[in-house]
Structure 1
Amino acid sequence: MSKKLITLLAISAIYCLNAQTNAEEALKTFEKKYPQEKIHLLLDKSNYIAGETLWFKSFVFDGYTTSAISTTLFVELYDSNKNQISKKLIPLINGEGSGNVALPSSLKEDVYYIRAYTSWMANFNEDFQILKPVAVYNPSSPEKLTSNPTPWTVSAYPESGTFIDGINTKVAVRLQSNGTAPSDWEGYVTEIDNPDTKITTFKGFDQNIGSFNIIPKSGKRYQLIVQDKNGQKQNISLPEVSASGINLQVSSDKDHVKYTIKSKNLAPDYQYYTVLGTINNQLVYKAKINKINNETQYSISNSQLVNGILQLTVFDDKENVVSNRLVFVQPQLLQFKQPSLQSVLLKDTPRGKNSFELPKDTNYSNYSVLVLDASTQSPEEDQSLLSSLWLTGDITSPIISPAQYFTKNRNTEALDALLMSEKWKRFEWKSIMTGNYPMIKYQPESYLSYKGKVNIQGKPAPNTEVNLIFGSEPGSRMSQIKSDNNGFLTLNNLVFEDTMKFFYQLNSEPKDLNNNYSIYFQPTSNFVPYKKNIPPSPYKLIPRPADDKPSNEVSRSFTALNAQKIIRENITNIEEIKLKGEVKNKTKKLNDELSSPGFKSLNEQIFDFVNDSPLTTSSNVLKWLQGRVAGLTIQMQGGSYKATMRGGQVGIYLDEMLVDPSHVDNMSTSDIAMVKVIKGFFAGGFGGANGAIAIYSRRGTSSNRTASSKLRQISLQGYDKETPFENPDYGNDNFKSITQDTRSVLYWSSFLETQPNESSKVQFYNNDDTKKFRVIIMGYDKNNDTPLYYNEILP
């Protein structure tokens, strides 16, 4: 959290407020040593058919900011029997990652589950990981999905957990269901001994929650009766009325969080009470109250707080928890940015060309953009970026459509009642105050690491120097490492996709070895098995009738799948024609001579200083690059220039050796043969997740590269490569062979890179019948720790 929040108020006659309690010390330890990550997973669709590709974008947060803890995301696909169908390893750049999962055409119709987590998250409760159900349809499957009406259950939660004689108490009523809970329901309260007289009545806010107020009386027993519009009814007893205790009552408006502590028949030996307020496991409020006054209301200003769940806890003078309550800070004013779309040109004509622009904003390195046919269900309707960030990322119990609590028409009273029915599960006060902290088994690592072992004549070889040459051919890039006392060696901080070949050779090879040596490598971080059972879904499988016809949505998806195959084939053909038509010009030849395979990328921009002789008005090559490469920023820092891309620092390489930027400050352009800017991952960079600026001097080329016949080859498995999302270009005649276009996803970009000097443009073609477009845009302002979120139907 960017705003480091401290004690705000001193209430009543407070003494020694600066003395830390055991609870504060325990919380400080937990916050420092056990930060908590959470994930939002954006899918391109809400449901799929077998044979389609599922695309996803992930945001990993540390509290309310993008996480710098983890650099790798694990994504898995399970069936309803917890059999793993697929797994993906995704790199995280500033907490963001993306990828795709190909759904086999043979996949039977059922509900499948996408699991997403980091190694660090695997140390904690699995309930905080993403386990997202996704329906996959297949008309050729012998069984079909249908809704699964199941009985709902009801529970009652008096505010702060106490039900005390004579104190007007708010009670939250929570519905739970494995199927579909009713949205239209109501309830009333009676005495058990007098069931015909209704004390109070209420209507449910939504499918999750409702609330009512009651003044309980000692000796009375109360019951709650809830009924939906279909006549299903449940009757439960309310808690027994206590003759004494403390009731914490809380409200939240746009300016303050206000609370009142009410009591009845407290023992006279209590000297004082302490109130602690925490957000994201961080202490944000502390007060010491010597005497409880039932009429006194205390106020916490929102000016130094952020949107999120505030946990207020009341301790007695022996540091026992006597009351606890969760409340959302400032639900009336959500702190997120919404972009203003420019140059909007949207047409509802069949296959019409559409476009809009996002204004230039240096606070964002990229956007995630999804455009859908507005008549289809949006993946953000149920679980949105805002609901993941502010609610479900920290709440483990199932919530139906949590996104509803952060829309324009949100019901803040419903959100408050919902949090009344929840407990903070990130930690328990009693547990951390007794020193019972989580056991850490998995440490976060910087991108990919591999542990190897050197064997000579079948035995470990300690303190042995090994030459490693990276690339797809010998002589690409050499690095020397040495094994430890047990013969082990480690490769750290690698960023590459698919597989990377490298060659190895002992630095000093005795003649009597006869090449009788070997090196083995394995990754140090692995997928962690899911221990819990797969949760029940709101669907069930039934035998498919012989005359069963697919729904209109499924039929449209199959038509779109066939069209997508044609789109893919045409794009492939167009690219092949382009490649065949390329002339191997001088710059390409220079690049082939100077660049090793590890420093080649499909996403690179080359500046040829040999053949093109670009005019330079600056004596510094880094400064000269400013403004010439989209997304690249060059800034002076500490007396030297610093390069960043997508908010992350870019490595500077001189003849493919990583150097400090100061090494090229005074390099003459007459000594430079070529400058290459690589965007994104490349095999030759250790930790080159943000790309590289590779500067090549006017040196020899192939003469400096020799291959040894003694070199041995081995391959490492890297991150899973994302398949490009392909859109038709109806301005090209090749796509006219598509007879019917029923795509529901009209545009998808998980990383729409921002431009330093111009707006970011989105272009796409309509399908055959879409009339309105749902546009979803996400981003994160890392300077102000503020999400950017746009979810609107246009026009």
Structure 2
Amino acid sequence: MSKKILPFLLFLSAFSNFQAQDKAESALEIFTEKYPQEKIHLVFNKNSYIAGENLWFKSFVFDGYSPSTISTSLFVELYDRNKTQISKKLVPLINGEGSGSFTLPDNLKEDIYYVRAYTTWMTNFNEDFQALRPITVYNPSSPQKLTIDNTSKWTAAVFPESGTFIDGINTKFAVRLQSKGLPPSDWNGYIVDTAKPDVKITSFKGFDQNVGSFSLTPKAGVKYQLIVDDLKGNKQTIDLPNVSDSGINLQVVSGNDAVKFNLKSKNIAPGTLYKVIGTISNQLVFKAKSTKILEQTYSIPTEQLINGILQLTVFDDKENIVAQRLCFVQPDLLKIKKPSLQSLSVNGSPRALNSFGLPQTSDGRDYTVLILDGNSDSSEDENSLLSTLWLTGDITSKIYIPSQYFTKNHNSDALDALLISEKWKRFDWRSIMAGVYPIIRYTPQSYIFYKGKVSVQGKPAPNTDLNLLFEMPNQGIKFYQKKTDANGFFSLNGLFFEDAIKFSYQLNDPKIPKEQVQVIFQPNYAFVPYKNSLPESNYNLVQRSAEDQPNSQIERYIETKNTQSLINEKATLIEEVQLKGVKRDKTKELNEKLSGPLFKSANEMIFDLVNDNNTALGSMNILQWLQGRVAGLTIDSDMGTYIPKLRGSQVSIYLDEMKIDPSQISSISTSDIAMVKVIKDYFAGGFGGGGAIAIYTKRGGISGSISDSTAPTKLKQITLNGFDKETPFVGPVYNDENFNNISHDYRNVLYWNPSLQTQSKEPAKVQFFNNDDAKSYKVIIMGYDEKDYTPIYYNEIIK
């Protein structure tokens, strides 16, 4: 892996007696270069479910603080509390994003379930960094029911800033609460000298249900204790660390303009050499090394940094760690792009139509849009895209409602105290400096990868040409030719298809009867079993009595499940009628039919040779015909071969989405070409490259087809499985009379679109119909602007 995680960060230095790179920096450089770190955010269409419903999810996969390009497939699994796998899905990732759905069985027992998500690359590292989200599923027919755990005891722990507690140095402490159930929302603490337990030295009130803080100037020889209590009378006593008579305390203040720090010391010899290293997402962003480092305050400007966790580590002259501290960069200046809702039209009447538009993102990426009844809970309420990106994606300990630290009215002091109580666990300095790095057992493949073996009369067929015909849904027939290796093996990688497709095959040697040929395929990817124990939830299971009745929320869920079945039936009928009666844009239809998901871009120019551009038929070479028709595109000639260039750089050529050499173009008759697409920017199918010319030949169902749709039936066939197909999300269309007989509508989820595409000329339109009683709407819009390295986030109630 050679990608820099944060190539845009400013590298600052404050050197005295500058020396060559030391062991810590060298180890970090290797770790950053070869072991990039992915993290996953999952958002669900709602916060809780009833057995028999569909669960929709959207995934965002980041490499540090940017959308990941490492992995192109996501593994998603559903577990019960006993770690029994109920279902699993394989989801494609395009630009680090993917979506899918689970159908929850009707007989699923009421309980807490867990959705686990990970990539192949992530399985090389600690399982704690994989996404594991609890899901509440209700079932009134289940013999047991869920109740919130309000009785579990909480525990408290105390953490001095930078890990040191030194005589005479005023030290900030974080106090951290943990509980199996709900931690107390109102709690307090105070400090005493164990020799004078009735005298409070200092006291404080907890910030939230996770953390509180206090400061204390200790005296050598004194034993200190922390007493924490809540309003219910629960109390804990914790011993503070012993007071040291020498050492260094790292003190940090993170502001909007700079992160400032200094080193307070006691009984340290003058002229001792120390080094301070600052890292964000495992990348070096600051270094200071000096014999005078204890005598001044350092300031790290934040104007060219990004929001995220900064780790500061102090090393002595032998590169031993003497102090460490985590802090958040610009906690009160969160860099978030908030999209504007254009032409907003809201009508609070039952089943009324509501709408708004969204502008195109600067890099053409899609939005994820979720609209709920304003009284409903969302999975974003607990752990949001922002809290995953900036906190829980890198912090593995349990945090109660981490989203609270990145809301409009967040408490920055609470976030700072939380980070004092944490350590960076993506890597351990001592391990990597000793040359101990993660063992890479699994390398990411491009989308779906199959290995194949060819046998003739039961014996391997080495160095043999194999012809493969794919029957691709909505894309006609594609032809591939593979050559086996010395043992009869070959590989198929970069496959992108849903459900299953049929392969037809034959050897290129006509002398070998097809009955003697056997081809066996084996997927070169696998779901990896989860080894850790599942986390405890905030709920208990208790026996359901005969008198128990569903509460109002469950009753609405039951009614909605029944209503949704009727909505699905009506919507299917309407769609069938519309497909017959609506005349679609022919070029757009041709593009949708021929182009796979990886070859679609917001910056593409399409030439339709089926319905338009008849002048191309008179040209001997399609590249020559393109000359002068695309701004920035030039066609050079080299020994009779036409070479296309965009803005002076040669671009790749694809024939039916397979990369070919420019010399092969001359053999393609323009009469056999259905469409040409010039892509001027990055697209997923280019795998990191920028720009391409994609040529599509005529196929079955397209006028002038040259494909023989019966060809595969004459050959031996095999079926391969692809990505799992997502169940379409369907809402009612109340301006159509077909929906008039729906008696009750209590839907929580009014709109769900995990990939709302935007166009450059006009805003993307969002339309949804009200349920029977909603008067407000929770609108959640998510995305990422890679040009500015900024999350796009909107989560507000509109009325």
Q: 1:260 aligns with which of 259, 262, 267?
A: 262
Q: Quickly say closer, same or farther: Cα 1:33–1:359, change in 2 above 3 A.
A: same
Q: Quickly say closer, same or farther: Cα 1:471–1:213, change in 2 above 3 A.
A: same
Shift of 1:701: 3.5
In the alignment, which residue of structure 1 is the partner of 2:223?
Answer: 221
In the alignment, which residue of structure 2 is the partner of 1:629?
Answer: none
In the alignment, which residue of structure 1 is the partner of 2:716?
Answer: 712
Shift of 1:702: 5.6
**In 2, distance between residues paired with 1:475 and 1:189?**
75
In the alignment, which residue of structure 2 is the partner of 1:192?
Answer: 194
CA contact (8 A) 1:82 1:534 kept: yes
- Paired residues for 1:668-747 under 5 Å: 671=671, 674-675=674-675, 695-696=696-697, 701=705, 707=711, 711-747=715-751
Query: Is residue 2:168 matched to residue 1:166?
Result: yes
CA contact (8 A) 1:223 1:236 kept: yes
In the alignment, which residue of structure 2 is the partner of 1:482?
Answer: 483
- Paired residues for 1:374-413 under 5 Å: 374-413=374-413
Q: Quickly say closer, same or farther: Cα 1:231–1:676, change in 2 above 3 A.
A: farther
Shift of 1:691: 12
In the alignment, which residue of structure 2 is the partner of 1:551?
Answer: 551
Query: Is residue 2:86 matched to residue 1:116?
Result: no
Query: SS in structure 2 opposite 1:515?
Result: helix
Q: Quickly say closer, same or farther: Cα 1:107–1:196, change in 2 above 3 A.
A: same
In the alignment, which residue of structure 1 is the partner of 2:757?
Answer: 753
Deviations 1:616-674 (A, max 9, x none): 9x99999999xxxxxxx98736768899xxxxx99965577655799889999x84764
Structure 1 residues without counterparts, runs of 5 or longer: 626-632, 644-648, 680-684
Query: SS in structure 2 opposite 1:9?
Result: strand
**In 2, distance between residues paired with 1:412 and 1:389?**
17
Q: Quickly say closer, same or farther: Cα 1:366–1:258, change in 2 above 3 A.
A: same
Query: SS in structure 2 opposite 1:564?
Result: helix
**In 2, distance between residues paired with 1:272 and 1:586?**
71
In the alignment, which residue of structure 2 is the partner of 1:183?
Answer: 185
CA contact (8 A) 1:609 1:672 kept: no
In the alignment, which residue of structure 2 is the partner of 1:51?
Answer: 52
CA contact (8 A) 1:277 1:285 kept: yes
**In 2, distance between residues paired with 1:692 and 1:711?**
32
- Paired residues for 1:21-36 under 5 Å: 21-36=22-37
Identity of aligned residues (%): 56
Shift of 1:289: 2.6
**In 1, distance between residues paired with 2:359 and 2:461?**
59
RMSD between aligned residues:
3.8
Query: SS in structure 1 opposite 2:530?
Result: coil
Query: SS in structure 2 opposite 1:211?
Result: strand
In the alignment, which residue of structure 1 is the partner of 2:682?
Answer: none
2:632 partner letter: M
1:740 partner letter: H
CA contact (8 A) 1:641 1:662 kept: no
Q: Quickly say closer, same or farther: Cα 1:345–1:86, change in 2 above 3 A.
A: same
TM-score by length of 1: 0.89
In the alignment, which residue of structure 1 is the partner of 2:290?
Answer: 289
Query: Is residue 2:203 matched to residue 1:201?
Result: yes
Q: Quickly say closer, same or farther: Cα 1:622–1:336, change in 2 above 3 A.
A: farther
Shift of 1:305: 1.3
Query: SS in structure 2 opposite 1:386?
Result: helix
CA contact (8 A) 1:364 1:780 kept: no
**In 2, distance between residues paired with 1:758 and 1:446?**
34
Q: 2:795 aligns with which of 784, 788, 791?
A: 791
CA contact (8 A) 1:306 1:329 kept: yes
Query: Is residue 2:765 matched to residue 1:769?
Result: no
2:423 partner letter: K
- Paired residues for 1:279-318 under 5 Å: 279-291=280-292, 293=294, 296-318=296-318
Shift of 1:477: 2.6
Query: SS in structure 2 opposite 1:75?
Result: strand
Query: Is residue 2:103 matched to residue 1:99?
Result: no
In the alignment, which residue of structure 1 is the partner of 2:214?
Answer: 212
- Paired residues for 1:297-696 under 5 Å: 297-471=297-471, 476-510=477-511, 515-578=515-578, 609=609, 636=632, 654=655, 658-659=659-660, 671=671, 674-675=674-675, 695-696=696-697
Deviations 1:214-243 (A, max 9, x none): 111111111111011111111111111111
**In 1, distance between residues paired with 2:678 and 2:529?**
36
1:753 partner letter: Q
- Please, which moves more after superposition, 137-146 or 634-643? 634-643
Query: SS in structure 2 opposite 1:10?
Result: strand
Deviations 1:284-320 (A, max 9, x none): 00001303546x3211111221111000000000000
Q: Quickly say closer, same or farther: Cα 1:166–1:587, change in 2 above 3 A.
A: closer
Q: Quickly say closer, same or farther: Cα 1:601–1:312, change in 2 above 3 A.
A: closer
Deviations 1:404-459 (A, max 9, x none): 00011000000000000000000010000000000001101111110111122222
**In 2, distance between residues paired with 1:751 and 1:206?**
35
CA contact (8 A) 1:190 1:196 kept: yes
Q: Quickly say closer, same or farther: Cα 1:123–1:195, change in 2 above 3 A.
A: same
1:737 partner letter: N
2:384 partner letter: S
2:67 partner letter: T
CA contact (8 A) 1:502 1:713 kept: yes
CA contact (8 A) 1:650 1:688 kept: no
**In 2, distance between residues paired with 1:160 and 1:90?**
42
Shift of 1:575: 2.5
**In 2, distance between residues paired with 1:624 and 1:767?**
54
CA contact (8 A) 1:185 1:227 kept: yes
Deviations 1:33-90 (A, max 9, x none): 0000011111110111111111111110011110010000110000000000110001
Deviations 1:583-641 (A, max 9, x none): 9x9989x989x98999999999998755677899x99999999xxxxxxx987367688
**In 1, distance between residues paired with 2:797 and 2:615?**
48
1:457 partner letter: Q
CA contact (8 A) 2:469 2:712 kept: no
Deviations 1:444-477 (A, max 9, x none): 1111110111122222222122111111799933
Q: Quickly say closer, same or farther: Cα 1:293–1:687, change in 2 above 3 A.
A: closer
**In 1, distance between residues paired with 2:454 and 2:194?**
76
In the alignment, which residue of structure 2 is the partner of 1:249?
Answer: 251
1:16 partner letter: F
In the alignment, which residue of structure 2 is the partner of 1:682?
Answer: none
CA contact (8 A) 1:608 1:673 kept: no
**In 1, distance between residues paired with 2:318 and 2:419?**
27
Shift of 1:700: 6.0
Q: Quickly say closer, same or farther: Cα 1:230–1:497, change in 2 above 3 A.
A: same
Q: Quickly say closer, same or farther: Cα 1:523–1:650, change in 2 above 3 A.
A: farther
CA contact (8 A) 2:506 2:514 kept: no
Query: SS in structure 1 opposite 2:545?
Result: coil
TM-score by length of 2: 0.89
Shift of 1:737: 1.4
Deviations 1:97-134 (A, max 9, x none): 11111111110000000001100011001000001001
Q: Quickly say closer, same or farther: Cα 1:657–1:203, change in 2 above 3 A.
A: closer
Q: Quickly say closer, same or farther: Cα 1:266–1:586, change in 2 above 3 A.
A: closer
**In 1, distance between residues paired with 2:625 and 2:730?**
35
CA contact (8 A) 2:165 2:241 kept: yes
1:763 partner letter: Q
CA contact (8 A) 1:72 1:447 kept: yes
Query: SS in structure 2 opposite 1:304?
Result: coil
Tell me how many residue pairs correspond in the alignment. Answer: 768
CA contact (8 A) 1:634 1:641 kept: no
**In 1, distance between residues paired with 2:472 and 2:300?**
61
Shift of 1:264: 1.1
